[in-house]
Amino acid sequence: MVDGLLSHPPLPQELRTQGLAPLPCNLYGRERVDLSGTWQFLVDSVERGLRNQYPRYTIPKDEKQAPVGGPLVEYDWDSAPDITVPGDWNTQSNERLFWYEGLGWYRRRFPAPPTSGDRRYFLYFEAANYRAHVYLNGSPLGVHEGGFTPFAFEVTDKLVSDNSLVVGVNNRRQYGNVPGSDADWFNYGGITRPVWLVSTPPTFIQHAVVTLRDAETGPIITCTVTLDGRDAADTPVTLRIPELAIELDATTGADGRATIELPAPRHLERWSPETPRLYPIVLSTAEDTIADRIGFRTIATRGHDVLLNGRSIYLRGISIHEERLGTREDDGGRRLDWDDSRRLLTEARALGCNFVRLAHYPHSEKTTRLCDELGLLVWSEIPVYQEDIAYDDPHTLEVARQMLAEIITRDQNRASVVVWSVANETPLTEPRLRFLRTLIADARAQDSTRLISAALNRSIASTLTEIVIDDPLGADLDLLAYNTYAGWYGPLAPGDITSITWRSIYDKPMILSEFGTDAKFGVHGVREARWTEEYQRWFYEQTIHNANTVPWIRGLSPWILKDFRSPRRYRTDYQNYWNRKGLISETGQRKLAWQVLHDFYQHQADAPAAR
């Protein structure tokens, strides 16, 4: 037993004290300078730049060897190769670094912004995979662990006229990381999302959450604001929602927090996939003003039903990896701009989806904001993945807790996000149960307005033809989720799927969070032939028919929207290091099974009350 796991201690301080600053909320509504573009890049496979054994070898410094005399310097930033940020190094290197896992160093120079009064400045990284060591002007700022969540460092007193920002990013997979060493997706390395220099007033709105909840007296809008700075206490805060004729004031307490509550106006339009209504809101103090667009909705469960705004909904979903749709010249990678994210989500919408499972890690803020706009409900997950997690290691738990806190902090105002998922396909062990229950307690404490889930795939009592949902973690979840591959892995064929029965020991709704088979686009044959589009179509027909006979299965998120790279998919004639379970190919061609799911979702959308 790991000390403290059962008592759910406060979020540990170890990670926060490595120089990290509180994340300034509402990044895209902030005054900021984009540090994207061309950086210099050096590979350090032996990690010499971190050892500090010999100062002349230490990469973070901006030393340059003099033409005559002077110390030996065995690197030169000015002659280092260029690399584009954001982006992974794997697909930018002309195959030289395609399989590289290890440490890489980035450097870019930038001028200090023009001074206009008393301002604070933060270096804000949307993500860097996996461990980032950050230096400014030769001095360490700190370290962040986790490849998919944002982090920031305050640099107010560290900027000079010409600044040198150096970042060492290490994507080496290893046991103890989150995820561990055996994830079934490509381990893209580098600064994979944008970097910003964010400017704020001395006392600024560090965090703000605006929510809707249903009370016995009627729907209530709640706004909680947290200020950061020397004047955080006893400061007036104003909430304005012009289209609802709302303007209310509150004053922060000694902890810098203020809460505003009011009955929701009768004419409030609730956000839903059919009508994704977003309201402009403005939060302000005497020093700071931020604007956002927020949807108001409620999500809950009752018995076997998922309730969106009090009405039962069937989750017509698909799972998605954060890997862009490619072309003949560009077959993807982890550098998604707004158009790349929109292409993936638009394809999900064309399929008939009202729900996307963003697997198996937090996707970019662009994606969740677009889901708000497009009307796609979101399952957001942290990469606590399968057996290869050190469930009894306190450090691994701290990393997972920090990841969960960071993504909840970033996305708490996204109406589209309705599920926080703490894990995928984890083993039936006591250390795992304690680990995940700690994460669940954290999520409920930080955000009580969303559902908690985890993708399960283990059972105590299941047989070949009866699947029993009896994982003890189910007692802690709001929404059950189960990954099933009967008909692909194991002895059953698709023709046997309709003989499978389902039983649950919990009176809760469930979704089939994964199912699918590999099929390479353009490979055809009889339906019994594996790797063909016909086999995949047959599998979908049988699995959907079987799921539709179980009243407490209230949604699907099949695996997966598009083919994606994976280092453990070796069969070169069909896979060639691609997971081929996509309904579309890596370049966007739709397979036969796409139509099967589309037609089923169309039927569900046309008859939503039939269940």
Residue-wise pLDDT tens digits, 369-409:
999 999 999 999 999 999 999 999 999 999 999 999 999 99
Instruction: Please choose, from the candidates 343, 358, 467, 474, the residue with its C-alpha nearest in 3D space to the C-alpha of residue 410.
Output: 358
Instruction: Please choose, from the candidates 297, 302, 298, the residue with its C-alpha nearest in 3D space to the C-alpha of residue 509.
Output: 302
pLDDT of residue 17: 44
Of the options 1.10.1040.50, 3.40.50.620, 3.30.1330.60, 2.60.40.10, the CATH number for the domain spanning 204-287: 2.60.40.10
What pTM does this model have?
Answer: 0.94
Question: From CA 166, how far away is CA 504, in angstroms rounded?
Answer: 52
pLDDT of residue 563: 96
pLDDT of residue 114: 81
For 440-470, the pLDDT digits (tens) are 999 999 999 999 999 999 999 999 999 999 9
Instruction: Please choose, from the candidates 426, 428, 420, 385, the residue with its C-alpha nearest in 3D space to the C-alpha of residue 404.
Output: 420
Q: Please report which confidence band the pLDDT of residue 63 belongs to, taking 50, 70 and 90 as the band edges.
A: confident
Q: Please report which confidence band the pLDDT of residue 7 belongs to, taking 50, 70 and 90 as the band edges.
A: very low
Largest CA distance in the chain: 83
Instruction: Please choose, from the candidates 376, 373, 368, the residue with its C-alpha nearest in 3D space to the C-alpha of residue 322.
Output: 368
| Rounded average pLDDT over 68-95 | 85
For 337-369, the pLDDT digits (tens) are 999 999 999 999 999 999 999 999 999 999 999
Radius of gyration of the chain (CA): 25
Give span(s): CATH 2.60.120.260, the chain. 27-200
CB distance 299 to 308 below 8 Å: yes
For 280-313, the pLDDT digits (tens) are 999 999 999 999 999 999 999 999 999 999 999 9
Which two structure tokens, joined as six digits, stand for 360?
Answer: 């198996």
Residue 228 has pLDDT above 90, yes or no: yes
Residue 201 has pLDDT above 90, yes or no: yes
| Angstrom distances, CA of residue 196 to CA of 21, 104, 140, 143, 206 | 14, 20, 18, 17, 16
| Rounded average pLDDT over 197-205 | 96
Residue 72 has pLDDT above 80, yes or no: no
Residue 605 has pLDDT above 90, yes or no: no
Name, of 55-69, 112-126, 415-429, the range with top average pLDDT.
415-429
Strand 103-111 to strand 37-43: parallel, antiparallel, or no bridges (unpaired)? antiparallel
Residue 611 has pLDDT above 50, yes or no: no
Q: Please report which confidence band the pLDDT of residue 509 belongs to, taking 50, 70 and 90 as the band edges.
A: very high
CB distance 525 to 543 below 8 Å: no
Question: From CA 596, how far away is CA 538, in angstroms rounded?
Answer: 9
Residue 53 has pLDDT above 70, yes or no: no
Which two structure tokens, joined as six digits, stand for 581?
Answer: 């379970």
pLDDT of residue 13: 46
Give span(s): CATH 2.60.40.10, the chain. 204-287
CB distance 512 to 484 below 8 Å: yes
pLDDT of residue 33: 96
| Rounded average pLDDT over 547-565 | 97
Cα 270 to the chain's mean position, in Å? 25
Of the options 3.40.50.300, 2.40.10.170, 3.30.70.2740, 3.20.20.80, the CATH number for the domain spanning 300-456+507-606: 3.20.20.80
Cα 607 to the chain's mean position, in Å? 32
User: Where are the alpha helices (H) located in 266-352, listed in sequence order?
Assistant: 338-351
| Rounded average pLDDT over 319-325 | 95
Q: Please report which confidence band the pLDDT of residue 115 belongs to, taking 50, 70 and 90 as the band edges.
A: confident
pLDDT of residue 9: 42
Which two structure tokens, joined as six digits, stand for 81?
Answer: 């190769």
Q: Please report which confidence band the pLDDT of residue 277 belongs to, taking 50, 70 and 90 as the band edges.
A: very high
Per DSSP, the residues of 199-217 read: EE-SSEEEEEEEEEEEETT
- In three-state secondary structure terms, 416 is coil
| Angstrom distances, CA of residue 131 to CA of 15, 46, 225, 284, 365 | 12, 15, 31, 35, 20
Mean per-residue pLDDT over the chain, rounded? 92
Hey, how many other C-beta atoms are within 10 angstroms of the C-beta on 490?
11
Instruction: Please choose, from the candidates 108, 101, 140, the residue with its C-alpha nearest in 3D space to the C-alpha of residue 36.
Output: 108
pLDDT of residue 6: 35
Give span(s): CATH 3.20.20.80, the chain. 300-456+507-606
For 249-259, the pLDDT digits (tens) are 999 999 999 99
φ, ψ of residue 329 in degrees (nearest 5)? -90, -15
CB distance 372 to 391 below 8 Å: no
Residue 3 has pLDDT above 90, yes or no: no
The DSSP call for residue 271 is P
CB distance 136 to 123 below 8 Å: yes
Question: From CA 542, how far away is CA 257, in angstroms rounded?
Answer: 53
pLDDT of residue 331: 66
**CATH architecture of the domain with residue range 27-200:** Sandwich (2.60)
**Range in 90-104, 432-446, 552-566 the model is least confident about:** 90-104
Q: How many CA atoms lie within 13 A of 240 on its CB side?
A: 9
